[in-house]
Structure 1
Amino acid sequence: MSQLPTRRTALRAVAAATGAVVVGFDPAGRSWAVAAPGTERAAGLVGLPRLDGVLLTDEDSLTAAADDFGHIVHRGPVAVLRPGSVDDVVAMVRFCNRHGLKVAPRGQGHGTNGQAQVAGGLVVETTPLARIGPVGPHSRTVTVGAGAKWSDVTRATLVHGLTPPVFTDYLELSVGGTLSVGGLGGQSHHHGAQVDNVTELRVVTGAGELVRCSPTRHRELFEAVLAGLGQCAVIVSATVRLRKAPTTVRHYLLPYSDLETFLADQRLLVTDGRFGYVEGQVVPDGNGAFNGYVLEAVSYDAHPDDAVLLAGLRHDPAGVQAEDLDYYVFLDRLAASVAALKSAGLWAWAHPWLNLLIPGAQAAAVAGGILDALTPADLGPGVVLLYPLLRERLHRPMLRVPDDPVPYLLAVLRTAPPEDTAGVDRLLAANRAAYEAARAAGGTQYPVGSVPFGPADWRAHFGPVWPALAEAKRCFDPRDVLVPGQGIF
């Protein structure tokens, strides 16, 4: 259990600290009326529902909700809900339905293109919805709040020797956030995406109904929400599968100088399953050409045998690294570099990320063309990831993956000075051109990055499942209030 008993008191203190409270909504002015505590509500204002949490309209809260990790798009809401309960989410989504206000849930704000922003509407912070548990040594699942971070979930389950099966590389993301997009990682060739490891959801639909859904209960809603980009419901909790956790792992870094050899060895490893985790990075040489490759692989075996694990691989013999790590230390290995980026102020730079899923048969050609055009200046202090998945492990229909047995994720995680707006615009155009090349080869966008997209692009992206998503939208968000920042409908 990770919920603090004083949370409601703390939320009330936030409102008190502003010296004012929201006393009503002005339908004519499309704004919230704020007054000192105890002030009588003015005529013509619509009263708020009773809330366990607080509704914030102070400048700092609105400014924070008008930004995200991308620092590219800025859309200002008129209020931010910091819920004290799931009932608050229900009440405010219903309120927004009645008064024509858009709504967007926000976890850790790690979107890169305004996905969780809403101009003139309500942002719902999910961070207070962070309860974890209960968990026991024989648990097969754990139910967690949408605002819980994967780092906290993992620490709670590891106490009992258990772990979620799949992680994104950065653990400080919210459960609701990653389940809205898919949640891919180096374990996905064994266990699918994070959305493939959810057994039940509790959601607030766009109509303001609190619903439990699963593969056997309201399945159409369950399938529309997982990787559905927030279009039909706000996730408030999820039940996630658990498996036995290793205590230590062996972590390998294997260098390559040839792209096709690198891709072929990655493909071998995910198809034979000898490693629990497989990813890879692309690095520049001394002249700035992105033609160096590092295969990252991790064995969860209690007694790994290097000779067996590395048999048949064609990596460069020099520069191989292998070390044994505590399991959580491995999962959280980015913590030190993230701290360094924050200390240097680079976390606040723009992040015009490019994330593509490419058919394995076209991976060398498409990725090679994109990498040939990439320069260290365009990447900045970011990284390039390139690694395979297994299509047969990915079952959620809204996670759009190329029709290829071994598709590859290419992630060009650019970082750029935010004041260089012309440079950021140029990188966004480059992202669009790269997406067009991938789409022509049968690829898709993994929608966590910054690729300029319109409704027609989204219809093409969802392809054969577009009718199901559109019908779910009509059914569960009939007034189209949810998550306009994605630009889908």
Structure 2
Amino acid sequence: MASPSLIPAHFIVFFVVSRLMSIIGNLRPSKNSLPCEIDSLGVHAKLRYDLDAIGLASTDYGNIVHEIPSAVLYPTSIDDIIELIKFSNECPLPFNVAARGHGHSVRGQAMAHDGVVVNMLSLKKHYKNGNGIRVSTSGNYADVGGEQLWIDVLNATLEHGLAPLSWTDYLYLTVGGTLSNAGFSGQTFLYGPQISNVLELDVITGKADFMTCSKDQNSELFYAVLGGLGLFGIITRARIVLAKAPKRVKWVRMIYSDFSIFTRDQEHLISTKGLEYLEGSLLMDYTPANNWRSSFFSPSNESQIISLLKKHGILYCLDMVKYYDDETANSVDKDVQMLQEGLNFIPGFTFMRDETYVDFLNRVRRGEITLKSKGLWDVPNPWLNLLVPNVSKKEDYGSKCTDQRSRDQT
């Protein structure tokens, strides 16, 4: 029998090192893909070509799409972005420009292959006056820079006893980023997504025009940019609707084993007044009852739920939240009890937590910190939000959505 062929150790080392250099080389940007005239721009010194900047701008939270830009712009003013986009348009071979906030897009919307990614967070460091968040004297709205994080918006508005109406489940995202998508959470059923709570925008268009828009001024641009995935312009300022902020919440989670009953109760609660948050989720028999987004159950509760999961294979959780403050603290428990009347969750499987308003809104942050401590936050985390229509009703949902969109615009 022939003896196995042995590969010299020095060859293996050479091959591994060569392979690593090839991978690193693929990440290295090709500066030559940008016109040489870019060196004459005022923003030239704010462009970075190093591997750290390029690597950060080459991926996003979805970790599905990877596109390598030629450079990353770290702007110190909105004028820097305008200059870059204008230059791109004037080039014989225009290059792509994309805005990146915290990089939580899921399909590469914040990337620019062989182009320039604009690091919007860089603007936060260069405000001459204020922090990019200004609450109006009337308290009806706040003017917020597109690069601001929602957690910073929350903290700034709470200083005035105010807060936006609609949120995302995770607050460490930029205002411009979520408004370029939609901005969904459990408040959506009552207030609409975040894009329905915007009065005005400042936008840099693809033609490098700086435009202010609203439902009455440049309305086509206004509605194109809101939820436009960054295709119609870069949001640099948003005027966000505010209201009086509550102090605490009663957070109730109810468990169902029947999907039809679960959705029926959810639809009932949607039509009920007095509820500020409503969202459903799934528990599978191969996942823990407590997950990284919210460790809701006590150890004894968790064991009960695990037993129930083994029986049914899948369970449905309905989360509802009632806001309250000092004036309504004495009646909130009764209000929650009334909201639960007539619901058909599994008897004995309803759980309640009392939290501050801030802790509830920022609940996913706790899970993030836990995952980061275990080195797991940077791995892909599937996260899918769905709006499920009531197919039992004979309605034209396309017309219904169009009608709702028309009402939103008026």
Query: Which residue, 306, 317, 336 being the options, matches 2:366?
Result: 336
Shift of 1:163: 0.5
Shift of 1:52: 9.8
Q: How does 1:423-462 map to 2 (within 5 A)?
A: none
Percentage of matched positions with identical amino acids: 37
Q: How does 1:197-346 map to 2 (within 5 A)?
A: 197-285=197-285, 286-287=309-310, 291-301=314-324, 302=328, 303-304=331-332, 305=334, 306-346=336-376
Q: Is the 8 A contact 1:129 1:236 kept in 2?
A: no
Q: Distance in 1 between matches of 2:194 and 2:403?
A: 11
Structure 2 counterpart SS, 1:272 = coil
- Tell whether 2:107 aligns with 1:113: yes
Q: Is the 8 A contact 1:71 1:348 kept in 2?
A: no
In structure 2, what residue type is equivalent to 1:297?
A: M
Moved more, 342-351 or 137-146: 342-351
Match of 2:34 in 1: 31
Q: Distance in 1 between matches of 2:119 and 2:60?
A: 13
Moved more, 137-146 or 49-58: 49-58
Moved more, 311-320 or 227-236: 311-320
In structure 2, what residue type is equivalent to 1:75?
A: E
Structure 1 residues not aligned, in runs of 5+: 1-24, 33-43, 364-389, 400-489
Change (3 A) 1:353 1:325: closer
Structure 2 counterpart SS, 1:395 = helix
Q: Distance in 2 between matches of 1:330 and 1:394?
A: 29
Moved more, 297-306 or 198-207: 297-306
- Tell whether 2:152 aligns with 1:122: no
Structure 2 counterpart SS, 1:169 = coil
Match of 1:402 in 2: none
- Tell whether 2:379 aligns with 1:349: yes
Q: CA RMSD in A?
A: 2.6
Q: Deviations over 1:315-370 (max 9, x none)?
A: 1121321122111111011111111122222222124554443322269xxxxxxx
Shift of 1:260: 0.8
Structure 2 counterpart SS, 1:323 = strand
Structure 1 counterpart SS, 2:40 = coil
- Tell whether 2:66 aligns with 1:74: yes
Q: Distance in 1 between matches of 2:382 and 2:353?
A: 33
Give the TM-score normalised by structure 2: 0.76
Moved more, 348-357 or 316-325: 348-357
Larger Rg: 2
Structure 1 counterpart SS, 2:387 = strand
Structure 2 counterpart SS, 1:242 = strand
Q: Distance in 2 between matches of 1:246 and 1:325?
A: 11
Match of 1:145 in 2: 145
Shift of 1:307: 2.3
Match of 1:91 in 2: 83
Q: Is the 8 A contact 2:278 2:320 kept in 1?
A: yes
- Tell whether 2:95 aligns with 1:101: yes
Q: Distance in 1 between matches of 2:281 and 2:216?
A: 39
Give the TM-score normalised by structure 1: 0.64
In structure 2, what residue type is equivalent to 1:88?
A: D
Match of 1:424 in 2: none
Q: Distance in 2 between matches of 1:398 and 1:307?
A: 33
- The count of corresponding residues between Structure 1 and Structure 2 is 336
Structure 2 residues not aligned, in runs of 5+: 1-29, 125-130, 286-308, 394-399
In structure 2, what residue type is equivalent to 1:31?
A: L
Q: Is the 8 A contact 1:141 1:239 kept in 2?
A: yes
